[in-house]
Structure 1
């Protein structure tokens, strides 16, 4: 199964781990999800912050 990554430095989607781990987010199951990485990460962070605020 192919894993997809989002390179934060270049803003590009990578098939497989091509760049340094410190420069990429993932893995994602699909190329489309990797392309949406910044949005997905913001949404996850928002949910975590809400959970923390509720004391969960």
Structure 2
């Protein structure tokens, strides 16, 4: 068994958690180290997306509006 076969994956279409690469790559989220992490894949993705959105918003805030918006 390879290390990839020991990882866990989440299928967002069926909401099934599987160990090893089963199914097509576009129907698979992961890899995750544990079954519990794979089961929480949608929540993990949402948290990562929110953090990235917050970082983008912070980078876009230069403290004052551009000259043409006065």
TM-score range normalised by the length of the shorter chain: over 0.9
Displacement over 4 Å in runs of 4+ = none
Query: Of the candidates 9, 26, 30, which is equivalent to residue 26 of structure 1?
Result: 30
Unmatched runs of 5 consecutive residues or more in structure 2: 61-70
User: RMSD of the TM alignment (CA)?
Assistant: 1.2
Structure with more of its chain in strand, by fraction? 1
Gaps of 5+ in 1: none
TM-score normalised by the chain length of structure 2: 0.76
How many residue pairs match? The answer is 56
Q: TM-score, normalised by structure 1?
A: 0.93
Higher RCO structure (Cα 8 Å, ≥6 apart): 1
